[in-house]
A and B are shown apart, each in its own frame.
Chain A
Amino acid sequence: MRLNELKAHELLPLIRRHEVTVEEAVTETLDRIAALDGTIQAYITVAREHALQRAKEADARLAKGEPPRPLEGLSIAIKDNICTKGIRTTGASRYLEDFIPPYDATVIERLEDAGAIVVGKTNMDEFAMGSSTENSAMFSTRNPWNLNRVPGGSSGGSAACVIANEAVFALGSDTGGSIRQPASFCGIVGLKPSYGLVSRYGLIGYASSMDQIGPMTRDVRDCALILNVIAGNDPRDSQSYPGELPDYAGCLVPEISGLTIGVPKEFLEEGLSGPVRDAFMKALDRLEELGARVVEVSLPHVRHALAAYYVISSAEAGSNLARLDGVRYGYRAPGQEDSASMMAASRGEGLGPEVKRRIVLGTYVLSAENREKYFNEALRVRSLISRDFQEVFKTCDCLVGPTSPTVAFEAGEKTRDPLEMYLSDVYTVPPNLAGIPGISVPCGFDEEGMPVGLQIMGKQYDEATLLRIAYAFEQATDFHRRRPEVPQKTYQSESAGGERSV
């Protein structure tokens, strides 16, 4: 096995014992990117020089006898809507194509302080708006399990590079399913933490009341290791959770007997594809075998979740993205006579069609004549959904359901019909509205070998129980051990495709 194929918790002991240098480990990941990413196209920017420099610094520290840090030498891929100081951060938008942030997001500071090394920035739907990464203004990312399929979205690049061994793990962001759905499509573990658990400082805002950054990893243990580093109060994010947090990796015991697991019946209604239903039903059996009590529950208001989500998220997005006006940074349309036309043209030319669609929608639902009918109504639905969850969590330790109604779909299949694309998030949106955590773990494959994800939803700030259940399920199955066979170019070749510069 090559170093870049190891999980974080497998690679860390080798580095700690000095059996492998950080430079060796990082180089293998960078070589893998160079070889493969021309095919997968997971990265918008590869920070090769930056990563090698950091690797050498880490080796120098270790050589001096400094104690290894919690994530020492791990190659991480960062979704391109998370600001990295000195490394361009585009949000997969033409508007920010040349934007190099003067500051690091809090999660980047924390990961780097813990010894992790940023190897690149991953592709996504422009400003995280989409479910297939096809809304990227740069290019589309392919699903490593089948190059004709989408990797999901919006964190498609992060999901694809993790399963393709182009990074040890990745960060994604999730506003309505953008971590969990691509994790499900690519057969990895993706956690959307409780709202406020991980600082949003430095995350390009999409819908601020729902955005969360989370880990995308090859297994649950890695997920817990990363969460340990990135979770925790940040005074720079006013919505940050101030409470004490447990050691998430320490909570991983494969023991769930006696726990009550609810299955919301609304998640098994029309729209759910056969293969996903089959895999999900088998997963339920497995959970029962592990000693959990599986019960049917109801979340009566979730049928309105998608509508409420698109109203609220678009309203917030329209406002958040208003700052992209050509005045201070980013794209500026040439040849305009006055500031108002310059701002309008810069937005018109710099932003993509899905982004514009949501800005228009957001402006519409907040306008004086529509606000009550749409925005305020959506807020009411949101609080009803939160109450639904609170109600079922009185009797259940967690809820489970499929992560997405289908496996990864064909590239181009849903780009014509935005509503069809939106339905891909129908199961992942409710936790964002309620602020509760959700995780997707691999729970099977369809006949064509495409992965299926199981979504587990927990009580707010109770990631420990969520991870324990996910861990127990994972340990009782072997879906997470499978890897796609990606047709690749010669391993040593210096592919220009992976060398997109910083």
Chain B
Amino acid sequence: MFEPVIGIEVHTQLKTESKLFCSCSTRFDAAPNRNTCPVCLGLPGALPVLNKKALLFGIKTGLAFNCEIAEFSGFDRKNYFYPDLSKNYQITQDAFPIGTNGHIDVMTDGKTRRIRIKRVHLEEDAGKSVHEGGTITGAAYSLEDYNRAGVPLLEIVSEPDIRSPKEAYEYLLMLRRILLYLEVSDCKMEEGSLRCDVNISIRPEGSDEFGTQVELKNLNSFRAVERSLEYEVERQSQLVASGGEVIRETRHWDEASQVTVSMRRKERAEDYRYFPEPDLAQLNIRRSWVDEIKATLPELPAARRMRFIESYGLPEYDASLLTDTKELADYFEAVVREYGEAKTVSNWIMGELSRLMNATGIGIESVKVRPGDIAAMLKMIDKGTISGKIAKTVFEEMFAEGKSPETIVKEKGLVQITDEEELAKIVDCVIEENREVADQVREGKDKALGFLVGQVMKMTKGRANPQAVNKLLRQRLAN
């Protein structure tokens, strides 16, 4: 049997206001070339100046991925010609990346494995070419938009530690989760603010050797990464099993037919003629600054998950789901602060709230229900003001309108009927109308009792307190 050896490079745009080396805006939806200046257009004489916030984000991310943060860091030029690269070199970090030797823990099918992070470094994005009238080869002409040129990117490179397509998928989820927790990137693959390149080789299980690497491109979702890897593991395994040999190449993932297609062979690595960027000073990253940043790091997903299990007594499943995004975890904790029963809160968030969010496509950040209102609703259930069943109706209304549960209950007259006299009248009425069933109850058929409870609930449109109804029926129909 073969074992896949997978490494992933992720490029993620940092959400700074301005570009990495000039003060142009990083907004992606501006008219073409609106967000440009002499620096990002590469005019003669223009010089880059490092955006300190991007450096801060880089250090933050390095720390979150458990990297060593370099004391001496700096930038290099990666030289290659392409029309969307305004200077025909990219300012990147080659020799002295911000962070090295990190790791994150990734759980796949209940098993946690440590994936080492080789490096985390800053670089600038390129512009975009638009080929008019066809493909790149058939186009009548091409246009260049440099709005994206100079937008800060963070490259996060894993060691080839990933051992299955599923693990690659989980690795990417965890990586994105961390970046979102840090609030350094939007990580929107559809807008291109997160991109990944994947390298895969296979080897006989138990071997320490590395096989020939294939690079996969055009991976537009995490699922595409997983699928393309599954395909590639299969393809390479069959190839080798039948005596063939994997060649070093770049393959394109064809989403429509779910296969990888050979793009170009890589005879040898390209020569980018890296050298230290002379327009920028070397970076001396003060330890005190790194310590300061470390102290302000938010609680990261893995730690938060553990805390949810330990201090709220939640099952692992709940804790994982609730800590999937920082916003959801924050929401959960806000409710728990006002309503102590963590598991109950978890049930409601993972149950009703998630169901409604999925049904409407609304994310947690735009949910109208305030955490305090959920807590208030749960207290109303506890006090018996509304039943758990009615609460679901109330909650739907809260979700749709953003009103408080008190208002909804009052407006719709949903207060639970607990008054014994009032309930007794209704119970008697039901017994009267269902004599045969009532007799069955008297004969000890509990199923029949349920029917009568249902009838009472029906008459009261669910407002009757089920326990009270139960009690009354039993009293009335006792032998």
Find chain A residues with CB under 8 A from B41 CB.
328
A435 to chain B, nearest CB (A): 12
Within 8 A of B (CB), among A88-116: 89, 91, 96, 99, 101-103, 105
Contact A339 B87 (CB under 8 A): no
A267 to chain B, nearest CB (A): 27
Contact A236 B49 (CB under 8 A): yes
Q: Does B186 contact A (CB under 8 A)?
A: no
Contact B88 A208 (CB under 8 A): no
The answer for the CA separation of A236 and B22 in the assembled complex, in Å, is: 9
**Would you give 17 A-B contacts (Cβ < 8 Å), ordered by A?**
A101-B43, A203-B45, A204-B45, A208-B279, A235-B49, A236-B47, A236-B49, A237-B47, A238-B281, A322-B88, A322-B89, A328-B43, A328-B144, A339-B142, A343-B81, A366-B273, A368-B271
The answer for the CA separation of A472 and B43 in the assembled complex, in Å, is: 42
Known: A208-B279, A238-B280, A340-B81. A105 touches B89 (CB 8 A): no
Known: A209-B278, A340-B81. A323 touches B273 (CB 8 A): no
Find chain B residues with CB under 8 A from A367 CB.
271, 273
With beta carbons under 8 angstroms apart, the residue of B42, B142, B274 that contacts A323 is B42
With beta carbons under 8 angstroms apart, the residue of A81, A238, A371, A375 that contacts B49 is A238
Q: Does A279 contact B (CB under 8 A)?
A: no
B45 to chain A, nearest CB (A): 4
With beta carbons under 8 angstroms apart, the residue of A204, A208, A209, A235 that contacts B44 is A204
Q: Does B328 contact A (CB under 8 A)?
A: no
A198 to chain B, nearest CB (A): 13
Closest 6 CB pairs of A and B: A322-B88, A208-B278, A209-B278, A366-B273, A204-B44, A323-B42
Contact A375 B81 (CB under 8 A): no
Q: Does A260 contact B (CB under 8 A)?
A: no
Q: Does B204 contact A (CB under 8 A)?
A: no
Find chain B residues with CB under 8 A from A101 CB.
38, 43-45
Supplied contacts A202-B45, A239-B278, 16 more A-B pairs, CB within 8 Å: A91-B44, A96-B44, A99-B44, A101-B38, A101-B44, A103-B46, A202-B46, A205-B44, A205-B47, A235-B49, A236-B49, A238-B49, A316-B275, A319-B77, A319-B89, A323-B44
A128 to chain B, nearest CB (A): 12
Q: Does B86 contact A (CB under 8 A)?
A: yes
The answer for the CA separation of A99 and B81 in the assembled complex, in Å, is: 22
The answer for the CA separation of A203 and B137 in the assembled complex, in Å, is: 37
Find chain B residues with CB under 8 A from A83 CB.
43-45
Find chain A residues with CB under 8 A from B274 CB.
366
Contact B79 A319 (CB under 8 A): yes
With beta carbons under 8 angstroms apart, the residue of B38, B79, B83 that contacts A322 is B79
Q: Taking CB as reference atom, which chain B residue is nearest A90?
A: B44
Known: A323-B88, A327-B144, A328-B42. A201 touches B83 (CB 8 A): no
The answer for the CA separation of A460 and B345 in the assembled complex, in Å, is: 67
With beta carbons under 8 angstroms apart, the residue of B46, B137, B275, B279 that contacts A239 is B279
Find chain A residues with CB under 8 A from B280 CB.
238-239
Q: Does A329 contact B (CB under 8 A)?
A: yes
A323 to chain B, nearest CB (A): 4
Q: Does B48 contact A (CB under 8 A)?
A: yes
Which residues in A have some Cβ–Cβ distance to B below 8 Å? 81-83, 89, 91, 96, 99, 101-103, 105, 200-205, 207-209, 235-239, 315-316, 318-319, 322-325, 327-329, 338-340, 343, 363, 366-368, 371, 375
Contact B83 A327 (CB under 8 A): yes
The answer for the CA separation of A96 and B44 in the assembled complex, in Å, is: 10
The answer for the CA separation of A205 and B39 in the assembled complex, in Å, is: 13
Contact B47 A200 (CB under 8 A): yes
The residue in A236, A328, A329 that gathers the most chain B C-beta atoms within 10 A of its C-beta is A328
Which residues in B have some Cβ–Cβ distance to A below 8 Å? 38, 41-50, 77, 79, 81, 83, 86-89, 137, 142, 144, 271, 273-275, 278-281
The residue in A91, A203, A316, A340 that gathers the most chain B C-beta atoms within 10 A of its C-beta is A316
Contact B275 A319 (CB under 8 A): yes
Contact A323 B86 (CB under 8 A): yes
Known: A339-B142, A343-B83, A366-B275. A238 touches B47 (CB 8 A): yes
Contact B47 A89 (CB under 8 A): no
With beta carbons under 8 angstroms apart, the residue of A205, A315, A322 that contacts B275 is A315
The answer for the CA separation of A371 and B142 in the assembled complex, in Å, is: 35
The answer for the CA separation of A322 and B82 in the assembled complex, in Å, is: 10
B300 to chain A, nearest CB (A): 33
Find chain A residues with CB under 8 A from B38 CB.
101-103
The answer for the CA separation of A89 and B48 in the assembled complex, in Å, is: 20
A7 to chain B, nearest CB (A): 29
Find chain A residues with CB under 8 A from B279 CB.
205, 208, 238-239
Contact A201 B86 (CB under 8 A): no
Find chain A residues with CB under 8 A from B271 CB.
367-368
The answer for the CA separation of A318 and B80 in the assembled complex, in Å, is: 11
Q: Taking CB as reference atom, which chain A residue is nearest B129?
A: A339
Q: Taking CB as reference atom, which chain B residue is nearest A315?
A: B275
The answer for the CA separation of A324 and B41 in the assembled complex, in Å, is: 11
With beta carbons under 8 angstroms apart, the residue of A202, A209, A363 that contacts B273 is A363
B268 to chain A, nearest CB (A): 9
Find chain A residues with CB under 8 A from B50 CB.
238
A12 to chain B, nearest CB (A): 29
B55 to chain A, nearest CB (A): 12
The answer for the CA separation of A40 and B131 in the assembled complex, in Å, is: 49
With beta carbons under 8 angstroms apart, the residue of B44, B79, B88, B137 that contacts A325 is B88
The answer for the CA separation of A209 and B89 in the assembled complex, in Å, is: 17
Contact A375 B88 (CB under 8 A): no
Find chain A residues with CB under 8 A from B83 CB.
325, 327, 339, 343
Contact B49 A239 (CB under 8 A): no
Contact A322 B87 (CB under 8 A): yes
The residue in B47, B49, B50 that gathers the most chain A C-beta atoms within 10 A of its C-beta is B47
With beta carbons under 8 angstroms apart, the residue of A209, A235, A322, A328 that contacts B81 is A322
Q: Taking CB as reference atom, which chain A residue is nearest B146?
A: A328
The residue in A81, A323, A338 that gathers the most chain B C-beta atoms within 10 A of its C-beta is A323
B86 to chain A, nearest CB (A): 7
Find chain B residues with CB under 8 A from A339 CB.
83, 142
A84 to chain B, nearest CB (A): 10
Contact A201 B47 (CB under 8 A): yes
The answer for the CA separation of A201 and B44 in the assembled complex, in Å, is: 10
Known: A208-B278, A235-B49. A325 touches B81 (CB 8 A): yes
Q: Taking CB as reference atom, which chain B residue is nearest A237?
A: B47
Find chain B residues with CB under 8 A from A323 CB.
42, 44, 86-88
Find chain B residues with CB under 8 A from A202 CB.
45-46
The residue in B42, B44, B81 that gathers the most chain A C-beta atoms within 10 A of its C-beta is B44
Find chain B residues with CB under 8 A from A328 CB.
41-43, 86, 144
Q: Taking CB as reference atom, which chain B residue is nearest A376?
A: B275
With beta carbons under 8 angstroms apart, the residue of A105, A325, A338, A343 that contacts B45 is A105
The answer for the CA separation of A39 and B83 in the assembled complex, in Å, is: 42
Contact B47 A366 (CB under 8 A): no
Find chain B residues with CB under 8 A from A82 CB.
45
Q: Taking CB as reference atom, which chain B residue is nearest A91?
A: B44
Find chain A residues with CB under 8 A from B43 CB.
83, 101-103, 328-329
The answer for the CA separation of A79 and B51 in the assembled complex, in Å, is: 31
Find chain A residues with CB under 8 A from B81 CB.
322, 325, 340, 343
The answer for the CA separation of A237 and B46 in the assembled complex, in Å, is: 9
The answer for the CA separation of A315 and B89 in the assembled complex, in Å, is: 13
Find chain A residues with CB under 8 A from B89 CB.
319, 322
Find chain A residues with CB under 8 A from B47 CB.
200-201, 205, 236-238
B285 to chain A, nearest CB (A): 15
The answer for the CA separation of A18 and B79 in the assembled complex, in Å, is: 55
The answer for the CA separation of A451 and B266 in the assembled complex, in Å, is: 59
The answer for the CA separation of A316 and B274 in the assembled complex, in Å, is: 11
Q: Taking CB as reference atom, which chain B residue is nearest A202?
A: B45
B453 to chain A, nearest CB (A): 77
The answer for the CA separation of A102 and B43 in the assembled complex, in Å, is: 9
Q: Taking CB as reference atom, which chain A residue is nearest B279?
A: A208
Q: Taking CB as reference atom, which chain A residue is nearest B48?
A: A238
B326 to chain A, nearest CB (A): 34
B48 to chain A, nearest CB (A): 7
